[in-house]
């Protein structure tokens, strides 16, 4: 179930006394970035590693996450967290604030999206987690698969170095790197 939020809500609010668990979603996620719910395992994993709620990851960063997922889907590559994070650093601005992804110069193939979203902060809605939807949001131990509400300590990540990637991640990286070299070279 979804609910449009009024001016009394803020995306950084927690559940408090709400009768149902919920997450906030910015309208721009759906209208501009084509983010869908439920999130896939890759997306939930990224949110977990970054230690943020979905609205705490800045829309510009969602705009970099989506193409990576789409390229992997198109070429039947299982998107791996470390492969994605090889291309990015995370920059929490302050505790309990948005988290942005930036690209170190060595991996410009996935350049961060830098167009500024206007007024995204005022347009959002709540998604209530009801009983039949729990498997999409909770693991079998009853823990949430990602943070529903803003965290105090987003994770600062300096992109993974190639030697620290697993063998599988290195294989994915090599395929993506060759693929992107070919695609970008043909532009």
Sign of the dihedral through C-alpha 170, 105, 67, 42: positive
The tens digit of pLDDT for each residue in 71-123 reads: 888 888 888 887 788 778 887 776 667 888 887 655 555 555 556 666 777 77
φ and ψ of 127, to 5 deg: -110, 115
The pTM score is: 0.81
State the pLDDT at residue 105.
59
* Nearest to 56, CA basis, from 16, 90, 88, 100: 100
């Amino acid at each position: 179930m979804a609910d449009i939020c009024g001016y009394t809500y803020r995306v950084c609010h927690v559940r408090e006394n709400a009768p149902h668990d919920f997450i906030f979603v910015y309208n721009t996620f759906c209208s501009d970035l084509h983010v869908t719910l439920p999130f896939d395992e890759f997306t939930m994993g990224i949110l977990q590693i970054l230690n943020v709620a979905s609205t705490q990851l800045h829309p510009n960063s969602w705009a970099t996450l989506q193409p990576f997922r789409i390229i992997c889907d198109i070429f039947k590559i299982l998107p791996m967290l470390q492969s994605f994070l090889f291309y990015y650093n995370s920059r929490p601005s302050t505790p309990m604030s948005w988290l942005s992804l930036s690209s170190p110069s060595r991996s410009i193939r996935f350049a961060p999206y830098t167009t500024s979203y206007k007024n995204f902060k005022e347009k959002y809605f709540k998604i209530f987690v009801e009983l039949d939807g729990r498997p999409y949001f909770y693991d079998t131990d009853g823990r949430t698969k990602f943070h529903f509400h803003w965290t105090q300590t987003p994770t600062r990540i300096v992109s993974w170095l190639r030697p620290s990637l697993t063998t599988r991640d290195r294989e994915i990286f090599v395929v993506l790197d060759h693929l992107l070299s070919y695609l970008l070279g043909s532009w």
